[in-house]
Amino acid sequence: MAKKLSAIDAQKLVDQLAAKAAELATQASSDQREIESIALAAHTGCEKSRAKLETIRELRRAMDLTGIDAAIKEARRNVESAEAAEAAAAQKRIAAEARLIIDRIDSLFASADKHLTLALDALKAADGRIEELHRLGFAFPTAIQVRTNALFALQTYLMALPKYWWNELSAGGVRFQAPHERRSFQQFWAQMSASLGREIAQRLGESKQKEVA
């Protein structure tokens, strides 16, 4: 069984055969002119011309241009076959790579669902704890203060989304945050928590105890 060639090697073979065919065609044309020049003499008794004519005819039979043309056609079919095989192999490689990428995307979106759900549950639970503070008589932070800062934090995170996602959100009214507005949930709550800590210390009389000490 013949070894299968790559598309490049198959094309090289076509080019080599085509060059050989061109060379033979040039030689055949030259021989034809010589045949015409000696044909009359060869057929009117000139043995030398007749011998030369026969030699040329033998050489032309040996050239076998028809065989070269057939070989070129087969070689071109080999090129097409090799190109088709290489294209199919490339598509298989691409498909296998795409499958790996899709599997990774599956896990990433699953992770996003999981962590966003946890984040939203945490935010709702934090809001509920702030309501508990209000019921205990702590006016700070107000619902408006928490909501405003929480929205700033949420929009700060949304700004990190891919640009075309953000464009859709901004078209829907989500505002781009100025540098001084950007914050995380922990950052804004750390300041509020510090103020609450001072108020709690005052209620417990801890600040006066520190002054006396």
67 vs 163, higher pLDDT: 163
Domain ranges of the chain: 7-96, 138-212
Amino acid 13: pLDDT: 72
DSSP codes, 32-78:
HHHHHHHHHHHTTT-HHHHHHHHHHHHHHHHH-HHHHHHHHHHHHHH
Q: 0.75 exceeded by the pTM?
A: no
CA distance 140 to 87: 68
Q: How many Cβ atoms from other residues are within 10 Å of residue 79's Cβ?
A: 19
Sign of dihedral through CA atoms 121, 124, 126, 128? Answer: negative
For residue 26, what are its two tokens?
């040039």
Statement: residue 62 has pLDDT above 60: no
Statement: residue 7 has pLDDT above 90: no
Amino acid 74: pLDDT: 78
Question: For residue 206, what pLDDT band results from cuts at 50, 70 and 90?
Answer: confident
Convert the pLDDT of each residue in 98-132 to its tens digit: 999 999 999 999 999 999 999 999 999 999 999 99
Amino acid 85: pLDDT: 87
Question: For residue 78, what pLDDT band results from cuts at 50, 70 and 90?
Answer: confident
The residue type of 164 is: Y
CA distance 123 to 111: 18
The per-residue pLDDT of the chain, averaged, comes to 83
